[in-house]
Amino acid sequence: MKWIERLFGKKEPFTPEIRFDELAGWLESRSKEVSREVGKQVAPIYSKIEDALSEIKKSTAWLDKSQPEGRFHLKMVKVATSNRDNMVKQVRLLTENVVVPQTTDIKAVLSFYENAMQTLGVCLENMMKSYQYAKLVFLEESKEVIADVNALGRLLNQLVEPINARKKLLDAVENAGKAVQAIKEKRSAAEIERTSVKEKEERATALKKELEEEQKALEQLKGSEGWKQYLDTTEELAALENNAKKIESEINSLVLPLNKALNRLKQLSESGRYTLAPEIKEGLYQCLSDSKSCRPEFFVELEKILESDVLKMERLDKMLDQIKLVKSSFGPYKERYQALVADIEKKKEEISKLDVVAQEKNQTDRISELQDKLASTEKELEVAKNHLESIERSLEIKERELQQTVSAIDDRVRVLF
């Protein structure tokens, strides 16, 4: 890539623009560049640490072989010697576990530093307890070991100074790398959502087209001769049903003045004070609940019962006059009503056989189904668009944050997204 050539090979004018797809490589080169700079400073410290470990081994060997000089109490010598041996043991564990790595990359340096400092900390903690007693007899030798171990600690701290000095830069490079990956994931998510939006838009368009076709077909159906015939037939049916209701109302009006006598007869029958023949009893209940279903013969029997005065009705003469009117009118009314009912059933059967009825129902059901599907799809589409907008807003924020991070690495560089 050209920008790599500019960085490492050719002396060309610096171009402050880097395409997003080249940024990962640029960040890697910056990371390696920093790592090389750190390596140059760390390598001499590695050498000094090696020397420090050698000095520790020498001072430890001196401590291990030393003998008490001077006059000490035997018990003191035993305690000091035992603690001296423990110091030697702890330091040897230190020198065995602190192994200088062959590489000077930042990860290797940090890993070595962390492990070495942990080992050193354990060594000092255990060794200092023994040092308090060992120095009573082996003062110079034990002090030498302690001094060498502390010198190692100072060198280890020097090891991370080049890294700490570049911490902001290293953090920026690391964060930029994470941001690059996050943006790639956001872009991928946005692309998936765009595909989803497109599919839903296409589905909604197809549903709208089919819905329009079905609605147009329904309009054409309702403009056909077959539909006109259906409407005419339903109007005829409505007229028949209206006439039947009028006849039923006239029958009820005819029988209504007899209700007092009918209810009185019902009370006497139910209380057992008057016995009715089964057919008369049935006619009584029909007349009270559904006058039009009553048989005309019932009113002949009712007239006989009224004339017997068993019901003890007031104004019996008017009741008898009404019975005569019912007897003369009920039969013709009922015949007209039954004829209308028969005509109504014929009209219904005629309507049921019309093809346009089934066609209209199928098309209406299909239109309703398409409207439900379209509403559901448009809702899904709205959700998908909102999600896409959310991803795109988040992507813009991530890109701005990445630019800020890249500027922290090199304020001359602008990322082309």
In-domain check, residue 311: yes
In-domain check, residue 305: yes
In-domain check, residue 202: no
Three-point CA angle 252, 256, 259, nearest 5°: 135
Is pLDDT above 80 for 238?
A: yes
pLDDT of residue 317: 85
Is pLDDT above 50 for 3?
A: no
pLDDT digits (tens, 9 = 90+) for 351-378: 888 889 889 999 999 999 999 999 999 9
Final residue of a structural domain among 147, 165, 183: 165
Whose structure tokens read 């089919």? 210
In-domain check, residue 102: yes
pLDDT digits (tens, 9 = 90+) for 243-274: 999 999 999 999 999 989 899 889 888 888 88
Is pLDDT above 50 for 230?
A: yes
Domain range for 287: 221-371
Shared domain for 225 and 362, answered yes or no, is yes
Give the C-alpha separation, 54 to 58, whole Å: 6
Shared domain for 232 and 329, answered yes or no, is yes
pLDDT confidence tier of residue 15, bands split at 50, 70 and 90:
low
Shared domain for 291 and 155, answered yes or no, is no
pLDDT of residue 7: 47
In-domain check, residue 205: no
Shared domain for 243 and 363, answered yes or no, is yes
Number of domains in the chain: 2
In-domain check, residue 178: no
Q: Does pTM top 0.85 for this prediction?
A: no
- Mean of per-residue pLDDT scores for the chain: 91
pLDDT digits (tens, 9 = 90+) for 117-164: 999 999 999 999 899 989 888 889 999 999 999 999 999 999 999 999
pLDDT of residue 14: 59
Shared domain for 157 and 245, answered yes or no, is no
Shared domain for 225 and 330, answered yes or no, is yes
Share of the chain above pLDDT 70, in %: 96
Shared domain for 235 and 154, answered yes or no, is no
**Average pLDDT over every residue of 300-322:** 86
Shared domain for 119 and 48, answered yes or no, is yes
Shared domain for 225 and 357, answered yes or no, is yes
pLDDT confidence tier of residue 13, bands split at 50, 70 and 90:
low
In-domain check, residue 328: yes
Shared domain for 246 and 345, answered yes or no, is yes
CATH, residue 63: 1.20.1410
Contact criterion met (CB below 8 Å) for 246 and 340? no
pLDDT of residue 204: 97
Shared domain for 133 and 229, answered yes or no, is no
In-domain check, residue 302: yes
Is pLDDT above 70 for 9?
A: no
Shared domain for 161 and 225, answered yes or no, is no
